[in-house]
Amino acid sequence: MERSSSTERFQPMTSVGSGVGIEMAPDLYCFTVQIVNVVFYGIAGEGNDWVLIDAGMAKSASMIKAEAEKRFGEGNPPKAIILTHAHFDHIGALIDLLEDWGPVPVYAHSNELPYLTGKKNYPKPDTSVEGGMVAKMSFLFPNESIDIGENAHPLSDDHTVPFMPDWKWIHTPGHSDGHISLFRNEDHAMIVGDAFVTVKQDELYKVFTQEKEINGPPRYFTPDWETAEQSVGILEALRPAIAITGHGVPVEGEWLKENLTKLAAEFKTIAVPDYGKFVDE
Ligand SMILES: [Zn+2]
Ligand SMILES: [Zn+2]
């Protein structure tokens, strides 16, 4: 397995929520690692089966592992790791975790696999995009792929999710080619990665305080705004009751309904930057 040359680059960001976990359903636990969320799927209990969704920031493996041990017991790695996409802040701890846990299968959309097998890099972050301090310092964020070799597997075309029987994956591109969200029809719970977020991710202060505010995908890393808008429309049409986003606090009920409807209706004003290399092209 190979890290990208810059995966270990200094990433000087954290939030008041780092290390905090919130249970959104008995089997759905959102855990914040610095500025990004990972999800533990599975009922808490020693030896219970579980799945990890997304893999946080670089150097956060010990934090993720310690929290997982509290919830599922020691020596009990997840059955699988599912990735919403492979940006640096969603795969940061992946190689360390795999080295520790052994050959846990990692699943992602087939369009995302080149970024997990060292074949393709993401576009460089857009530091010129309209937005706050985080956009301006996004040159610090690695865009290079990692290589987890044979651990990487494509999600099945039938939209089933390994080890998550009641869930379906939904293709929600725009922020990245192979971005997916997960949806459970039973309680309309949704794990949306960066398809939309609940914090203004380009503003340093708001990231730090995690002030709740609906927004589109992080600006400095989103190359296709038209597709990103369509993806928000797809998610809104499913009427989620619970949403765990990649950034910001997880949300539910009336707040989610109202704000997601607003985001879908006013996507161009709320989410799409006024200028930047991905909108000017
Ligand atoms: Zn992302
Ligand atoms: Zn992200």
Distance 129 CA to ligand 2 centre (A): 16
- Give the mean pLDDT of the chain: 94
Asked if the model's pLDDT at residue 169 lies above 90, the reply is yes
Q: What is d(CA 237, CA 276) in angstroms, rounded to the nearest whole number?
A: 29
253, 241 contact by CB (below 8 A): yes
| pLDDT for residue 5 is more than 60 | no
pLDDT band at 3 (very low <50, low <70, confident <90, very high): confident
Going by pLDDT thresholds of 50, 70 and 90, the confidence category of residue 217 is very high
Nearest to 14, CA basis, from 81, 89, 82, 65 = 89
Looking at the chain, how many residues does it have?
281
Beta strand pairing status for 180-184 and 106-108?
A: unpaired
CA of 75 from ligand 1 middle (Å) equals 30
Distance of CA 97 to the CA centre of its chain: 17
Q: Which ligand is nearest to the CA of 122?
A: 1
Q: Global pTM?
A: 0.96
Task: Please tell me the distance between residue 48's alpha carbon and the centre of ligand 2 in angstroms.
Answer: 28
Residue 46 CA, ligand 2 centroid: distance in Å = 30
Q: Which two tokens stand for residue 157?
A: 């075309």
Comparing 11-20, 209-218, 270-279, which segment has the lowest mean pLDDT?
11-20
